[in-house]
A and B are shown apart, each in its own frame.
Chain A
Amino acid sequence: MLIEEKSSLVREIEEFVKLYGKKRSSLLPILHELQNKYRYISDFAQQEIARQLGIHPVEVYGVISFYSFLNTEPKGRNLVRICQSVTCDMHGKENIVKAIERELGVEIGGTTKDNKFTVEYANCLGLCDQGPAMAVNDRVYFNLTPEKAVKILNEAK
């Protein structure tokens, strides 16, 4: 990481701390902002957040590792999460997964070579009446067919 990048990240975290307040309960909202922007929370960012909030870096890491929407390694530009809960499974989740794996040339859990997609499983997206369902970033899609799922991904930027 370049020194310039580091100092801009420091400033950015300062802004968030100002916005949410210098308190422990601001940790998740701040992590959410950084996760949204950078798609991961780097070691440096973790240490900087800890320093500014006055807590130990291990506390920050502990929180990140607990929540499945936060991660310490970079992911692809688009995060595809396919619902693996029982009703989506019954309604053809497997076919959707296979089609996406074939089309993108990546296995579930992996990231495409061009860094465009990371494909994961998700636990219940709350769309059991309209499964199979998946989420691409913060949008959800349901009543999927393999063809429809692939088309949605082809339209992603």
Chain B
Amino acid sequence: MEIQKTIRKGSVIFSSYEKGSAIKKIIGLPREDILLELKTSKLKGRGGAGFPVSTKWMLTAAAIEDEKYIVCNADEGEPGTFKDRVLLTEYTELALEGMIIGGYTIGAKKGIIYLRGEYEYLMKPLQKKIEEYKNENLLGKSILGNEEFDFDISIFLGHGSYVCGEETALIESLEGHRGEARNRPPYPVNQGFMNKPTAVNNVETLATIPHIITKGAEWFAQFGTDKSSGTKLLSISGDCEKPGVYELPWGTTIKEVLELAGAKNTKAVQVGGASGICLNKTQFDRKLGYEDAGTGGSIIIFDESRDMLQVLKNFMEFFVEESCGQCTPCRIGNVKLLEGVKMIENGDFTFRYLEKLKELAGTMQVASKCGLGQSSPNPFLSILENFKDEILNSVPGGNYER
């Protein structure tokens, strides 16, 4: 598979790294030291939810069980996100070493990469890399001569389901079930895969960890902001001259991102993929970060020529298709929101009904079982609010004419 290779610049993940150096450093260290280092770094999950890594690993490490698992979540299904593809293609060793460090820290002997079915072509190169690590004794039995540390990594292929990126749905899928999210608690850190303590981490989170181990938590925390430390990989696509994966410190404004990507006449920016929020021109000063515009890294740029209602329709069609159908707010809610979008498209809506739909969207946000239904109303609410002049007020009476 030839995917264009570019020289990537970045201060953390894309900075230089010597293969195996983090593993050499941790072998023999007490786990508490590693956990403390991660705590000082304030590293938060890069998949989008932003849960502190040190807490997740500490809880998994504290659980008393013989068997534990660490899962690398490579089910990158969010429209507009492709950073994990780049990481797994060009920086495979970082993700693998992140898992090995995780295994050592939480006391797991098995790591599983949940690879989305769409990335099946990455399976062979990944397996080759795992073999290479085994041959160098960085994986397998008694890693680097430490008799107490055995760790193996296997790859599990997904089958084209967006919701399996949600950690409990992912675990259900690993166990051979439909990818339907579980009730929480119990949390995966206590009862995850096969009811054993399981840490599920995003590829990017894991790929950041070897750098923190080798270069130190303070070095890492100097990038970004106080609440969002470090850098973030952004998957930039849409109307710009230079789409691709960029590594930028948290706290970067949307405006700076647009300049970097060479975007002109930008009307809107969707931050966080289909389930994220859509910003208009007046909001381009907002900063990327868990405290402001949080994101799993997807930035989709729309220029003046784009029809925002069509964009919204595309997103809602996606959610209707990908909702697992388990809980009512998500199953019915997304269909109703899509109907609403079609009503606007046909110029056949009332503002009163739209208000009702907004209420429904609020209900979905609080009552849905997993992140899918909780976040799928985001584009509906933000696009209708931020682009109401274009969508609802362009024609007297609110009729939408194409």
What is the interface of chain A, defined by CB distance below 8 A to chain B?
A: 23-29, 31-32, 62-63, 66-70, 84-87, 89-90, 122-131, 135, 138-140
Partner of B235, one of A25, A125, A128: A128
Assembled-state Cα–Cα distance A88/B322 (Å):
18
Contacts of A126 in B (CB 8 A): 76, 81-82, 84-85, 116, 118-119
- Residue B159 CB within 8 A of the other chain: yes
Q: Please give 6 more A-B residue pairs, beta carbons under 8 A apart, in addition to A85-B79, A128-B235, A131-B237.
A: A63-B178, A70-B159, A87-B238, A123-B77, A129-B236, A138-B120
Task: Take A68-B159, A87-B238 as given contacts and tell me if A129 and B243 are in contact as well, using a CB distance cutoff of 8 Å.
Answer: yes
Q: Is there an interface contact between B245 and A87, defined as CB atoms closer than 8 Å? A: no
Known: A124-B80, A125-B118. A66 touches B244 (CB 8 A): no
Can you name 10 A-B pairs with beta carbons within 8 Å?
A67-B179, A90-B239, A123-B162, A123-B321, A123-B322, A128-B80, A128-B82, A128-B235, A129-B235, A130-B243
Interface stretch of the complex, out of B52-60, B94-102, B218-226, B311-319 = B311-319
Q: Is the CB of B121 within 8 A of A90?
A: no
| Interface segment, one of B30-38, B168-176, B337-345, B351-359 | B168-176
Are B1 and A28 in contact, with the CB atoms below 8 A? no
Give 6 closest A-B pairs by Cβ, nearest first: A67-B159, A27-B176, A128-B237, A129-B243, A68-B160, A69-B160
A130 to B274, CA, bound (A): 18
Q: What residue of chain A has the Cβ atom nearest to residue B81's Cβ?
A: A126
Q: Does B306 make an interface contact (CB < 8 A)? A: yes
Residues of A within 8 A of B235 (CB): 128-129
Residues of A within 8 A of B175 (CB): 24-25
Q: What mask results when residues 151 to 164 of chain B are scored 1 for a CB within 8 Å of chain A, else 0?
A: 00000111111100
Are B311 and A86 interface neighbours, CB within 8 A?
yes
Contact partner, A128, options B156, B178, B300, B324, Cβ 8 Å: B300
B78 at the A interface (CB under 8 A): yes
**A28 in complex: contacting residue of B116, B118, B159, B244, CB < 8 Å:** B159
In the bound complex, do residue B159 and residue A26 qualify as a contact, i.e. CB atoms below 8 Å apart? no
Report how far A130 CA is from B6 CA in the complex, Å. 13
- With a cutoff of 8 Å between Cβ atoms, the chain B residues found around residue A31 in the complex are 159
A-B contact count (CB 8 A): 119
Enumerate chain B interface residues (CB-CB to A < 8 A): 1, 4, 76-82, 84-85, 116-121, 156-162, 173-179, 194, 235-239, 243-245, 270, 274, 300, 302, 306, 311, 314-315, 318, 321-322, 324
Cβ–Cβ contact B159 & A87, under 8 A:
no
B176 touches A26 (CB 8 A): yes
Residues of A within 8 A of B236 (CB): 129
Which residues of chain B come closer than 8 Å to A32, judged between CB atoms?
A: 157, 159
Residues in chain B near residue A128, CB distance under 8 A = 79-82, 235, 237-238, 243, 300
Chain A CB within 10 Å — which of B117, B236, B274, B302 has the most? Answer: B117
Q: Is the CB of A25 within 8 A of B174?
A: yes
Contact yes or no, B162 A87, CB < 8 A: no
Instruction: Please tell me if the beta carbons of B82 and A127 are within 8 angstroms of each other in the complex.
Output: yes
Across the interface, A139 reaches (CB within 8 A) one of B121, B178, B238, namely B121
Query: Which residue from A67, A84, A90, A131 sits with its C-beta under 8 Å from B160?
Result: A67
Q: Which residues of A contact B82 (CB under 8 A)?
A: 126-129
Q: Which one of A24, A25, A28, A85 contacts B318 once the chains associate, using CB atoms below 8 Å?
A: A85
Q: Is the CB of B176 within 8 A of A130?
A: no
- Closest B residue to A127 by beta carbon equals B82
Write out the residue numbers on chain B whose beta carbons fall within 8 Å of the beta carbon of A23.
Answer: 176
Q: Give the shortest distance, in Å, between B281 (CB) and chain A (any CB).
A: 19
**Cross-chain contact A130 with B4 (CB below 8 angstroms):** yes
Within 8 Å by CB of A86, from B80, B118, B173, lies B80
A122 near B118 (CB under 8 angstroms)?
yes
Across the interface, which residues of A come within 8 angstroms of B176, CB to CB? 23-28, 63
B245 touches A129 (CB 8 A): yes
CA distance A34 to B137 in the complex (A): 34
Q: Which residue, of B4, B158, B178, B311, has the highest number of chain A Cβ atoms within 10 A?
A: B178
Measured CA separation A28–B158 after assembly (Å): 8
Q: How far is the CB of B323 from chain A (nearest CB, A)?
A: 12
